[in-house]
Structure 1
């Protein structure tokens, strides 16, 4: 008799919420907003239902933010447009993890605007 243990994933909305909120570590450490969700995603994607989708969305969002920040840096010299871009990115990086943490606690799929699909 074979066991289906390996195909069963547990539902853990709290871990999904923590994964989304861990992006806010960027405001404390400067880099934890990518590292911690990446570790959680890689270690739990086969164990927690929905973690693979949520993790991909988070990593894509964080990598997209890095690309946009790199683009904004030279734009600072062009009439300060880069500063405006950095402010908008800072607001997005703070608000959307909270919105998606709430969504994931309700069992909904996360949506991050302006995300480039690095990982599918």
Structure 2
């Protein structure tokens, strides 16, 4: 990191009210669109954050960073939902293929899968709300459980 003329580290610029609003909009619009289209079809949440990113990427490093975070997080949650769906289908398939005898194995695994999906959904909701509040307050935020693609 570059030092200023007096040898100290430069202080980060405080984002403007407009930048904070755009950053919060990236998280909030992703949350709202994902909820409106159901959690499994949460790709709409990615689309909402992409729109904010495309609009602000050259104007505001703060807003574009938050939009990138929202894109990565919502895309990660969508990937996790797809994996959980595939596992669920495999469990049902294993039960059917074994004529119900596999239920001894697939039922406990299915219950664990349902609990994992519920935990992911709650984490997604809570983290999205926290990110929106942090952006509104002009603070940086890094989502947990995120695959960094952008």
TM-score strictly above 0.5:
yes
Does the 8 Å CA contact 2:27/2:49 hold for their aligned counterparts?
yes
2:73 corresponds to: 61
Structure 1 length as normaliser, TM-score? 0.81
Gaps of 5+ in 1: 1-9
Would you say how many aligned residue pairs link Structure 1 and Structure 2? Answer: 110
**CA–CA distance in 1 between the matches of 2:135 and 2:86?**
36
Q: Give the deviation of 1:113 after TM superposition.
A: 0.6
Any idea what SS the aligned residue of 1:95 has? Answer: helix
Whether the 8 Å CA contact 2:20–2:63 is kept in 1: the answer is: no
Select between 55-64 and 69-78 the one with higher mean Cα deviation.
Answer: 69-78
Structure of greater Rg: 2
What is residue 20 of structure 1 aligned with on the other side?
Answer: 27
Ranges in structure 2 where 5+ consecutive residues have no aligned partner? 1-14, 92-105
Q: Give the root-mean-square deviation of aligned CA atoms.
A: 1.7
- Where does structure 1 differ by over 3 angstroms across 4 or more consecutive aligned residues? none
TM-score (norm 2): 0.66
